[in-house]
Every structure is written in structure tokens, then in C-alpha cells.
């Protein structure tokens, strides 16, 4: 059984408009899948539906099983129970996940206390470990800092530490590097790549950026206007894009690459 199985997921707004339309995909334990598509294609709504966190006014039909739990029809209590230990989300903007009034240490402590029952010295040492794992040096200062006292890259590392602290089996990363500058982007991608590899965490990586998807995912699904237009191993999708929209994505990534190369030579 897949850790995450999505079958015929449709998300509608109050007017009945399908924002996500008949989407199906699966992520096996330890696997890495990508959802690629331009802004507005339905990537974030798919991620929110998977975790049972759709905004009010939107409704989902179809079937979503997260570690066997029906994330559309199960009672809220069961869905919440599946969320923490099974799946955690990292968002594009770390401030979405971080409470501005709480120090980084207290935020990471939250799930460790709730889900693992840690207290006192054990809790403090788990927070230190979580910060060290995301390569945040000077962990004590960071733990005492509020989000606004940290850089964008440090904030995203704290958000990743928080998401991974309780060892979820699936990490959903929704454009986790889009808001960061290019060098920090590369560091955060390397970090995610290493963390999911060493722990065997499954990854659902959401991005509009094909080269970024190629770096961290294995199977990919291309979304356009709420529908999956192409699926397959990322290397095949890039080498032999079948859908005209995928071809546009590949061509524009190639043009960008060629422009970079030219700039490098100048």
C-alpha cells in the first residue's frame, strides 16, 4: 500500500468550479514525487487537500489515503492524528508556518512535546539536535530568537527542523526555496535532499521550476489548470516531454540554461 494514494481528487470552490480536477498519483514510503506546474495550476490546493487542510469554502471529492486514513471523509480527529506523525508540510514562505510571537526553540518544542511527550532536559536536547540537523550553527542563539530576528534562509531551516522534528514518514515541500535567494536556495535543496535520503522520508515536492524538480524528485506529475497532463520519471519527462505544455516547460528551462551559459562565457 502506498503511504499516500490520491485517486480522482477534485477540489471545487463554492460556485462549483473545479480548481483541482480528477488528479491521481501515489507516493510510496521513502519515495520522491514531484508536482510541477505554473502558478495557479492547483499544486498548493492538492497539498492542502492531502493533509486535510483545505481553506473554508473549498470542498474535495475523490479519495485520499494518507497511511490508510481517509483524508476527505474521516473525522477531524483522525485526520489530525495522521497529519503530525505521518505528514508534515514546509511552505514557500517560512513565516506561514512560524508564529511571530514565539522563539524558534519554542516552536520546535511544540510538536516534540505534543507528539513525543518530551519535557525538560530531553526536550532541550531534542531541540538542539533538530537545529543541528538543519545545519544551524549557534543553535542556542537561534533557539532564543524570534522569526523576525532570523534571515530568510535561517527561518526556512527552522521551519524544516520543525516539520522533521517528529520524524514524519512524508514531507510535503511546497515551493520551499522560491522565496530565497539563489545561493540559499541551493543550500536548502541540498539539505532537504540529504535529510530525506538519510532518514528514508518520502517526499512530495511542489514547484514551478523544472530544474529544481529534476534535482530532488524521481517521479513527476505535471499539472496544468488543475489537471495532470503528464506523469513519469523526471528524466524521461525532460528527455521526451509528450504534452505540449510540458514541452514548453522543458524548452524554457533549456533557454534559461543556455542564457546562463552565454553569460558565463562573456
Ligand X SMILES: Nc1ncnc2c1ncn2[C@@H]1O[C@H](COP(=O)(O)OP(=O)(O)OP(=O)(O)O)[C@@H](O)[C@H]1O
Distances (CA, A) of 50 to 155, 171, 221: 24, 12, 15
Question: Could you list the residues that contact ligand X (CB under 6 A)?
Answer: 13, 19, 37, 39-45, 55, 57-58, 208
Nearer to ligand X, 43 or 169 (CB): 43
Nearer to ligand X, 27 or 104 (CB): 27
Long-range contacts of 244-249 (CB under 8 A, 24+ apart): 246/222, 249/36, 249/210, 249/222
Q: How far is the CB of 230 from ligand X (least distance, A)?
A: 16
Grid coordinates given for 72: 476527505
Distances (CA, A) of 26 to 19, 45, 130, 222: 20, 16, 29, 14
Tell me the three state secondary structure of residue 150: coil
Nearer to ligand X, 50 or 131 (CB): 50
Nearer to ligand X, 68 or 211 (CB): 211
Q: Among 22, 81, 53, which Cα is nearest to 174's? A: 53
Q: How far is the CB of 42 from ligand X (least distance, A)?
A: 4
Q: How far is the CB of 49 from ligand X (least distance, A)?
A: 9
Q: How far is the CB of 57 from ligand X (least distance, A)?
A: 6
Q: How far is the CB of 55 from ligand X (least distance, A)?
A: 4
Distances (CA, A) of 200 to 32, 77, 135, 213: 10, 27, 19, 18
Nearer to ligand X, 19 or 109 (CB): 19
Q: Return the C-alpha torsion angle 192, 136, 148, 182, nearest 10.
A: -50
Amino acid at each position: 500500500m502506498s503511504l499516500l494514494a490520491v485517486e480522482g481528487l477534485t477540489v471545487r470552490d463554492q460556485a462549483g468550479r473545479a480548481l483541482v480536477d480528477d488528479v491521481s498519483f501515489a507516493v510510496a514510503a521513502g519515495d520522491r514525487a514531484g508536482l510541477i506546474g505554473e502558478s495557479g495550476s492547483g499544486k498548493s490546493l492538492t497539498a492542502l487537500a492531502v493533509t486535510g487542510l483545505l481553506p473554508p469554502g473549498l470542498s474535495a471529492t475523490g479519495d485520499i489515503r494518507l497511511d490508510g486514513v481517509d483524508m476527505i471523509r474521516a473525522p477531524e480527529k483522525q485526520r489530525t492524528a495522521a497529519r503530525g506523525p505521518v505528514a508534515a508540510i514546509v511552505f514557500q514562505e517560512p513565516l506561514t508556518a512560524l508564529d511571530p510571537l514565539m522563539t524558534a526553540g519554542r516552536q520546535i518544542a511544540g510538536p516534540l512535546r505534543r507528539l513525543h511527550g518530551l519535557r525538560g532536559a530531553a526536550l532541550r536536547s531534542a531541540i538542539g539536535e533538530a537545529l543541528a540537523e538543519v545545519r544551524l550553527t549557534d543553535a542556542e542563539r537561534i533557539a532564543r530568537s524570534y522569526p523576525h530576528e532570523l534571515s530568510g534562509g535561517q527561518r526556512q531551516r527552522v521551519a524544516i527542523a520543525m516539520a522533521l522534528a517528529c520524524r514524519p514518514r512524508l514531507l510535503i515541500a511546497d515551493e520551499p526555496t522560491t522565496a530565497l535567494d539563489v545561493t540559499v536556495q541551493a543550500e536548502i535543496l541540498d539539505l532537504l535532499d540529504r535529510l530525506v535520503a538519510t532518514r528514508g522520508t518520502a517526499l512530495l515536492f511542489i514547484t514551478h521550476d523544472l530544474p529544481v524538480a529534476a534535482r530532488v524528485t524521481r517521479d513527476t506529475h505535471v499539472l496544468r489548470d488543475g489537471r495532470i497532463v503528464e506523469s513519469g520519471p523526471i528524466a524521461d519527462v525532460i528527455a521526451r516531454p509528450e504534452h505540449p505544455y510540458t514541452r514548453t516547460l522543458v524548452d524554457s528551462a533549456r533557454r534559461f540554461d543556455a542564457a546562463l551559459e552565454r553569460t558565463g562565457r562573456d
